[in-house]
Amino acid sequence: MRVVSTTSLIPAETAARVGELLAPPVTVTVTAEGSQRYAQAVGDLNPIYFDETAAHAAGYRTMVVPPTYVAYALVQGRPLGDIGIDGLFVGDKPIRLEVARIMFGGEEWDFVAPVHAGDVITGEARLAAIDQKDGSKGPFVRITREITYRTAAGEVVARTRQIGIAR
């Protein structure tokens, strides 16, 4: 018979939250200014993000934004009082785990349609999964947040699954 670890890092109240919306949906107008600042900070000077003519030549109806930028276009400003000692914003309903810290573990993107400067996009984040695993450095928790981005007409333009590793 296999010996199964009975120590759970995931409180029952957290496990019960799988599938729930992590925050109310956010709607923004994606701006060229925000997109270009992001592209410059990444070091990605592709002209389709900066120049209307280059975007047309590449087959887009207007300037597009870097594929992963949509996630940052939707980040909401928060007051300084909402920032914890580590500098991270404290959520209204943080995901409670019996762990010391959470690291960014990776991401899985589907790009369904391009996002253009000026598009109105709504993002909806759900807690997609929470699993405890046994790694070489001991047990850890894998948290998957799935965010779906849609146009005002309701068409999905992108979807991402952000993986957090907590231990």
Partner 1 sequence: MSAVVQPYADELAPGAVLPTVVRNASRVQLFLYSAATWNPHRIHYDVDYARFEGHPDIIVHGPLQGAWLSQYVTDWAGPAGRMRSLQWQNRASALPERDYEFHGRVIAIDGDLVTLEVWEQDPDGNVLMPGEAVVQLPRRDRG
- Residues contacting partner 1: total by CB under 8 A: 39
Q: How far is the CA of 149 from the CAs of 2, 8, 21, 141, 152, in angstroms?
A: 43, 33, 14, 26, 10
The secondary structure of residue 77, as a DSSP letter, is P
> In this chain, which stretch among 3-11, 18-26, 81-89, 129-137 interacts with partner 1, using CB under 8 A?
81-89
Site for partner 1 in 39-58 (CB under 8 A): 40-46, 48, 54, 57-58
59 binds partner 1 (CB under 8 A): yes
Sign of the Cα torsion 68, 159, 105, 18 reads positive
Q: How many CB atoms lie within 10 A of CB 65?
A: 26
> In this chain, which stretch among 1-9, 18-26, 61-69, 126-134 interacts with partner 1, using CB under 8 A?
61-69
110 binds partner 1 (CB under 8 A): yes
129 binds partner 1 (CB under 8 A): no
44 or 131: CB nearest partner 1: 44
Q: Which of 27, 53, 61, 108 binds partner 1 (CB under 8 A)?
A: 108
Return the residue matching tokens 């914003």.
89
Which of these, 87, 81, 166, lies nearest to 127 by C-alpha position?
166
Query: Least distance from C-beta 102 to partner 1, angstroms?
Result: 11
Task: Output the CA torsion 58→60→62→67 (10° steps).
Answer: -90
Distance CA 121, CA 27 (A): 6
| Positions that interact with partner 1 (CB under 8 A) | 34, 37-38, 40-46, 48, 54, 57-59, 66-68, 71-72, 75, 77, 83, 86-89, 101, 103-111, 114, 163
